[in-house]
């Protein structure tokens, strides 16, 4: 599977989680990917599932952004796993968020 397809799927898992947490906070915030990196450990074939499990970390980040009024950033990880349960890729995306006035 082409690397860009994996990258987009991995970014979506982190971005959708940030967006849902921002919406739940009731605040308007800007969000932006400021950096990313990835490693590929096995050829990705078939259906690949990506997961980000850092919801609590995002909650804490949003609280800090609201409390301080300053931009905050976090590195979120998304792992790609094939249908056999074997990890094929590992992505990190640094997200920056800031409360909008």
Gyration radius of the chain over CA positions: 15
Number of domains in the chain: 1
- Integer Cα distance of 45 and 89 in angstroms: 12
**Cβ contacts of residue 48 below 8 Å, gap of 6+?**
1, 6, 9, 80, 81, 82, 88, 89
63: domain range?
3-99
pLDDT digits (tens, 9 = 90+) for 24-69: 999 999 999 999 999 999 999 999 999 999 999 999 999 999 999 9
> CB 44: neighbour CB atoms within 10 A?
20
User: Under a CB-based contact definition with an 8 Å cutoff, are residues 17 and 52 in contact?
Assistant: yes
CATH number of the domain bearing residue 7: 3.10.129.10
**How high is the pLDDT of residue 101?**
81
């Amino acid at each position: 599977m082409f690397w860009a397809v994996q990258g987009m799927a991995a970014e979506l898992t982190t971005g959708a989680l940030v967006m849902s947490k921002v919406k739940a906070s009731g605040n308007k915030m800007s969000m932006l990917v400021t950096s990313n990196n990835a490693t590929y450990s096995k050829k990705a074939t078939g259906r690949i599932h990506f997961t980000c499990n850092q919801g609590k970390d995002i909650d804490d980040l949003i609280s800090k952004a609201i409390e301080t009024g300053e931009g905050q950033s976090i590195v979120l990880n998304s792992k790609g796993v094939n249908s056999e349960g074997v990890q094929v890729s590992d992505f990190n995306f640094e997200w920056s968020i800031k409360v909008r006035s």
